[in-house]
Amino acid sequence: MGALSGELMNVREAARYLGINEKKIYFLAKAGQIPSTRVTGKWTFPKNLIDEWIERGASGNRSKAPALPNRAFLLAAGSDDPCLGILHDLYERETRSASFYMTTVGSGSGVAAIRSGVADCATAHLLEPARNGGRKTAPPAFTPGDTVIVGLFYRELGLLAPPGNPKGLDSIRDLVRRGLRFVNRQPGSGTRIYLDQQLVRACLNPKRISGYDLIVSTHLDAGLRILRGEADAALATRTTALLLGLEFHSLIHERFDLWIPRERFFTDGIQTLLGVIGSREFRAGVDALGGYDVSESGRIIHLH
């Protein structure tokens, strides 16, 4: 990722780098006169954006990072999760006069929406877990340049089944059983992408899954199909199972993130949203639902 792929400096490091005292750094950050963010409650300064800021200063343009006009609303597009309702309510409580709109179109379409400039940010779970201590990566087709990715939470994704798990489901391979009815998510959603990847790894043909082409747009919709007896299995989050009283077999501990175009990162709406994500209120609200890990909420993730 080109945007924040360099190091993040704290106040002391930024002061040393710029050759000014720490009080001046605090003043510049609070006044919005230097590229900075307070995602996790502490000021941080992306070194490469600081370098750009210095270059603009040298050319006589001492404004902060290139600014887009602030809008009275914020639009997020992408993946679905019950916790997004908590994020929405806390943001509107914080801003009062501003509105936060969310549209559930799937991770892939959400990333496409920020790439085209339609949305201010995207919610997505496209990052693969790090292996052997390496960095987390996303499929190249879904990784637009100049994008900042901020962690929202970790969650468990797995197989949903009726209470008691009457068919004994415990792996993706079980989905091809004769007579088993599956309900799927829309193409481009992170859950659908994960399922298709697992089918390829298991050498399973999707055509063998009854209901592969039966599509719903949210985890809750998938769970309700099972609850009503219209399906025997689906892929969804543990929280969905907890809310509906369904059986759950975990398949992956995945991260769920906020993707932000660098050009919008320092707009007022996005900075307010990042403050909410890093707040105790957001973490407590998400944690209370069960099935989440909020230990890294608000942390900036680096992609290369």
- The residue behind tokens 């707040």 is 279
What pTM, to 2 d.p., does this model score? 0.73
Q: How many CB atoms lie within 10 A of CB 103?
A: 15
Query: Cα(185)–Cα(300) distance, rounded to whole angstroms?
Result: 28
Query: Cα(249)–Cα(251) distance, rounded to whole angstroms?
Result: 7
Parse the chain into domains and list their residue ranges. 8-58, 73-156+257-301, 158-253
The CATH code belonging to domain 158-253 is 3.40.190.10
Task: Check for a shared fold between 73-156+257-301 and 158-253.
Answer: yes
pLDDT tens per residue across all 304 residues of the chain: 333 445 778 888 888 888 788 888 887 777 667 777 765 567 888 777 777 777 666 555 444 444 455 666 889 999 999 899 999 999 988 887 668 898 888 898 899 889 888 899 999 998 765 433 444 455 545 555 688 899 999 999 999 999 999 999 999 999 999 999 999 999 989 999 999 999 999 999 999 999 999 999 999 999 999 999 999 999 999 999 999 999 999 999 999 999 999 888 888 888 889 989 989 999 999 999 888 999 989 888 754 3
Per the rule left: phi > 0, alpha: psi between -120 and 50, beta: everything else, 125 is beta
CATH 3.40.190.10 is the classification of domain 73-156+257-301: yes
